[in-house]
Structure 1
């Protein structure tokens, strides 16, 4: 990620084209094609002073000795209250001295964890046309598939039913990238938060300098608790009140652990888990993970379970084995299904996979103004399109130029440094690289042609908030029509929006967290184990009969879970 900081340092000169319109190999890009001075990535904490991050575990709470670590020269970052451990930065000498100290039973490296959204481009089978949202436009297809409106708006009149469970009284702690405090969907739901990246009480998804993050945590938060009837900026063609969450009455505790590059330290995640418990969270939702296990991580999540918190985590997006912490037995692991309730091929699998939920093309809140709704027209004819996530809003009317697969900065036939709309064929080249290559040739907007017309348009994302040009993906059929009009003026407009449609097990996880909040709010005396039992027992079976490693117990169902609860004494 964050490739654009490096691009901003490139030396640019006047563009030179051969007689076919391609950039000459010896020439650089058009002047100003990529802005100078783009921010560099956040520097990872690490080896500048020879120290690295470690998790230090003790035999008992009474033996945890932070002053001793400091006396040896180590730098203590956190001391955990729920498990006898601390996280510290240690040099090799300090590590060796601490390993033999009284009460220390183990020292392990602090591990990286990552946001689990934006998987690789999904195969065409996933790209179905978006379902109609039923009687109320705020109700997303995913919301309906988990039966949330059937719980709190049984007559589908757009009004919460009196006395219906909405998640009221339940605290959901979101351990993620933080959130946008100004988003209209989330103001009422936000209760409290802490930033474990920057160490303050403002868990907002941005750097100290104001550079925005990905909006990952804001998207997760909206799936759980977006408010009915809020007035976010949707963009043209979208319902003016945006979306509603699975449990609009739940309160959100926000623990920011992911930096703006989508990276976290396990030590900070464990600190956040500790904080969630102290805040009285009923549920913790983690749309993040990593491939490496940790003994201390296992102990910490077991402790959270033992103390009565229901921990829900994303399975992962590699299509392989479950990521951690989802792979831990104490965690409810969530995989993703598509619009047909079939397992998404990117969704990880394994014996601890518990439930499935919608995770493809999920619409929710995003950092205000950073989403976009696209409009593409040529000769007065509109073409189906979807804005690339992280592409900026803006408007361009320029000639359409064929750039092929844009695998290098020499593929646009007819490029001009005065500006054009690049027509790009989707390929194995990353979207960010494709866009970079056409921008260096002078493109001021770009259209990505979908490779096949199996349903609707994919939700494609760039790697970061780089200095991109407005860009959108168009359907295969529209792409064919546009390509027949190369050289004609095409209008590309991206309208700013407070919402975006994204894909990943990150999006599936908060659906389950929201359903758990609904069930728990119906009977607050339930234990976490009882809530989990209800969700698992009432799930809609998918795949082979019974639990299986690809689908767990099946698709989470809110109404069915509450119906089952109604049979209990």
Structure 2
């Protein structure tokens, strides 16, 4: 699972001027430059980063009332609590209150049924995920070339592109008329692929109607919601900036005609409280959404959550959620809720991704490894690694510097110590690090202190692929990329040669996680509702499950659920239902 938190303050030093080379050669530590992550300032945490115990000593809780919550809000405020949400589909309110005095007073109220912790939930994009090479990750198809391999794998184009020209055919189901509610980190509302798709939005954190993933002086958030939304509904022919993997027209979503309702609940670092998510689900229903896409989780079921998701189904919404990125046989919540459809992640070879959680309740699988989609404008990057004309497939690290660097290629092993870079020099070099033994940021700090001006991470797993890694959001870092194991084998024979790491800014990026698999299923569900507006969530769910491509052992299993979602077959199944 992607953890959006940061390291503590690191007072670390890195490369200095050339005249420090002798000292660097002796100690392998170069002077005079700071390297590493910085702790987040208080002002940034107040924008988001919800805590179990907040800085004013209050705790976020959900208070359940008997008698449908009559007097609930007034009673909480009477004892000094601050109500943050009042729910309509369950007799409860969310509030901030002191842990002792105010909570004790409410507990004495005979109308109070229970007081629950307002759990912290997180985005479910994986920090490290094996990715296929560029040639298998993308499909060079018809003109315009906007159909990614993931879109084809779930048969979306077989629903709306019967003539095979790469564009939606007139009259075919594209998601038109169907509202999909994306409960996530908000959006780059000006992204050219998405700006025409959004029909309504709400920022539950800032309590306004502008669900942007940008927050003034604090800058961009995670980009998670923009990536998810593009998988669902990126518009044809609206390409953004700078991507060598795509033509200028960009890419297309699974349901390129769907209408997006955006509910921002994740803060700048990908965290939220479950009360914001539950309030967002009710907002989705208000806005007439037929599908709710939840690429987040991390909690456990409570009476309040069960009632909200049951009400969502009764109101005609199909809720789709990520199974989790813990690589365990236990589906995360809310995906494990009985009224939610749980989705796991596949790699390019239809294997369960090594991070994807399975277990009882897993319903469907969809592409979730090295998924190319929209990203806040100019915040994505496409990288090239070149050593004597050899260019292995690479991916830039999320949130890292977008810069070009060159220098001698130096073997830094696992980057697990301050003497790991053999032949380092404080005049600068490109570090080659075998990823996996120590955390990414720890390895980067070690090699930066030895003089690295850029870092190339190699995948050490035998199955190959490119890891999708991320860096802490603040601090002093050098550009970094990941490459395949095969690429690393080649570079191992070229140590000491001149290496170049180049990057270009883009409005797109690659991400991995069950977060990325979930919107594929959400988009397919939108296609079905588009074709049959009167269909119920249960009918659409049945069509999705019964038509899925069986993977793993025959029939349902806890590693793959019912299998890979298939849009065309699901549509045919729904058409045949009475």
Contact 1:376–1:382 (CA<8 Å) still a contact in 2? Answer: yes
Matches within 5 A, 1:1-400: 1-3=4-6, 6-7=9-10, 10=12, 21=25, 23=27, 29-34=30-35, 39-40=40-41, 42=45, 44-45=50-51, 46-61=53-68, 63-91=70-98, 92-122=100-130, 130-133=136-139, 135-136=141-142, 137-320=145-328, 321-400=330-409
Alignment partner for residue 432 of structure 2, among 416, 419, 423?
Answer: 423
SS of structure 1 residue aligned to 2:372: strand
Distance 1:11 1:418 in 2: 14
Q: Deviations over 1:375-408 (max 9, x none)?
A: 1222344343222222222111222222221113
Contact 1:135–1:156 (CA<8 Å) still a contact in 2? Answer: no
Distance 2:26 2:539 in 1: 65
Distance 1:60 1:135 in 2: 59
Distance 1:13 1:144 in 2: 47
Q: Deviations over 1:529-554 (max 9, x none)?
A: 21112111221222233322222222
Please say if 1:483 is aligned against 2:485: no
Deviates more, 1:132-141 or 1:284-293: 132-141
Contact 1:33–1:441 (CA<8 Å) still a contact in 2? Answer: no
Contact 1:22–1:413 (CA<8 Å) still a contact in 2? Answer: no
Contact 1:128–1:456 (CA<8 Å) still a contact in 2? Answer: no
Contact 1:128–1:455 (CA<8 Å) still a contact in 2? Answer: no
TM-score using structure 2 length: 0.91
Contact 1:396–1:445 (CA<8 Å) still a contact in 2? Answer: yes
Task: Give how far 1:432 is off.
Answer: 1.9
Task: Give how far 1:327 is off.
Answer: 0.8
CA shift in 2, pair 1:13/1:528, >3 Å: closer
Matches within 5 A, 1:440-519: 440-451=449-460, 454=463, 456-464=465-473, 466-519=475-528
Contact 1:247–1:517 (CA<8 Å) still a contact in 2? Answer: yes
Distance 2:307 2:37 in 1: 47
Distance 1:134 1:384 in 2: 17
SS of structure 2 residue aligned to 1:130: helix
Deviates more, 1:519-528 or 1:546-555: 546-555
SS of structure 2 residue aligned to 1:198: coil
Distance 2:134 2:250 in 1: 21
CA shift in 2, pair 1:160/1:48, >3 Å: closer
CA shift in 2, pair 1:13/1:440, >3 Å: closer
Task: Give how far 1:36 is off.
Answer: 9.7
Contact 1:30–1:442 (CA<8 Å) still a contact in 2? Answer: no
Q: Deviations over 1:486-509 (max 9, x none)?
A: 333221101111111211111111
Task: Give how far 1:476 is off.
Answer: 3.2
CA shift in 2, pair 1:433/1:490, >3 Å: same
Task: Give how far 1:282 is off.
Answer: 0.9
Distance 2:520 2:437 in 1: 31
Q: Deviations over 1:6-40 (max 9, x none)?
A: 23x5577969667883635xx6x532343898854
**Which residues of structure 1 form unaligned runs of 5+?**
none
SS of structure 1 residue aligned to 2:25: coil
Contact 1:4–1:467 (CA<8 Å) still a contact in 2? Answer: no
Contact 2:124–2:325 (CA<8 Å) still a contact in 1? Answer: yes
SS of structure 2 residue aligned to 1:209: helix
Contact 1:20–1:413 (CA<8 Å) still a contact in 2? Answer: no
Matches within 5 A, 1:400-419: 400-419=409-428
Task: Give how far 1:57 is off.
Answer: 1.0
- Number of residue pairs matched? 563
Task: Give how far 1:242 is off.
Answer: 2.4
Task: Give how far 1:459 is off.
Answer: 2.7
Cα RMSD, aligned residues only: 2.5
Distance 1:12 1:558 in 2: 52
Distance 2:8 2:217 in 1: 15
Contact 1:4–1:466 (CA<8 Å) still a contact in 2? Answer: no
Distance 1:299 1:69 in 2: 21
Contact 1:22–1:410 (CA<8 Å) still a contact in 2? Answer: no
**Which residues of structure 2 form unaligned runs of 5+?**
none
CA shift in 2, pair 1:475/1:529, >3 Å: closer
SS of structure 1 residue aligned to 2:423: coil
Contact 2:323–2:335 (CA<8 Å) still a contact in 1? Answer: yes
Distance 2:452 2:165 in 1: 47
Distance 2:392 2:335 in 1: 41
